[in-house]
Every structure is written in C-alpha cells, then in structure tokens.
Amino acid sequence: MRFMVIVKASKDSEAGVMPSQQLLTEMGKYNEELVKAGVMLAGEGLQPSSKGARVRFSGKQRTVIDGPFSETKELVAGFWLWQVRSKDEAIEWLKRAPFDDNTEIELRQVFEMEDFGAEFTPELREQEKRLLDEIAAKQKK
C-alpha cells in the first residue's frame, strides 16, 4: 500500500523561513533510513503559497487565484510518498520523524487501481498501466 504523508504549512514555512541545518541533517538521516528500508518513493518540500496559484473550475469557466493563501493550517508545505505493508507501519515510520513544536502530519492512503472496482474497466486499467509505464520510462532518461 502507498501512503502520502502530508506536512502541513506553518507561519514560518509560509514566510519562507528555511529549516535549520540541524533539522536538515536530521531529516536527511531519516530520509536515508526510509530509502534503505524501501519505504520512500518520493518526498519534497514546497515553496510558500505566495509563489503558487489555484485554479477554480465552475462549468466551463476557469479562474486563476494567485497566492498567498490564508488559512495556513490548510496548506501543504511538503510531502512524502511511501510504500508500506499497512497503515500501522506507516504510522510507526511517521512517529520517528524529526519534528517537534506541535507539528501535525497527515497520513492518507493512495488509491490503487483495484480500489475502483468494476467502474475501472479493463480499458481504463490498460490506459493507466500504459501511462505509468510511460512515466517510468521518462524518469529513466
């Protein structure tokens, strides 16, 4: 099973305050453990919402809203994508993360093709597989 681990934004991350050398070192060690264990598939930090945009869809109309966005607690500052055997395993890994200061991290399971049932027809499954293969091939370049 795959899980997305969502690191929530803070006032500091939204202000562009970079992590300390100590936290970067601790996070590097933690990420190394995740990679060696075969858990980490991807992980990145995100720029503040002031450098982002949202697109609102209403029928055929598209409205672009430039950042920054209010409600910091609803924003994402970074993420990991993990491959684990269970939610409990993901939680155990997450408990080892080098966070403090009342940080809250969200853990969400990623849908797999089989989760969609009969609505995900053989043709749609083939298309999904083809796209995933194409992505993998492009990443090798």
User: pLDDT, tens digit, for every residue of 50-78?
Assistant: 999 999 999 999 999 999 998 877 899 99
Q: Which residues of 114-128 are buried (b: 16+ CB within 10 A; e: fewer)?
A: eeeeeeeeeeeeeee
Between the CA of residue 85 and those of 29, 112, 119, what are the distances in Å?
A: 22, 14, 26
Please tell me the distance from the alpha carbon of residue 126 to that of residue 130, in angstroms, as a whole number: 6
Confidence label for 139 from pLDDT (cuts 50, 70 and 90): confident
Confidence label for 141 from pLDDT (cuts 50, 70 and 90): confident
Contact 13, 101 (CB under 8 A): no
CATH class (in words) of the domain with range 2-110? alpha beta
Q: What is the mean pLDDT of the chain?
A: 93
pTM here? 0.86
Query: pLDDT for 92-118, tens place per residue?
Result: 999 999 998 778 899 999 999 889 999
* Three state DSSP letters for 61-93: EEEEEECCCCCHHHCEEEEEEEECCCHHHHHHH
Please tell me the distance from the alpha carbon of residue 74 to that of residue 49, in angstroms, as a whole number: 11
- pLDDT at res. 71: 80
Domain ranges of the chain: 2-110, 113-141
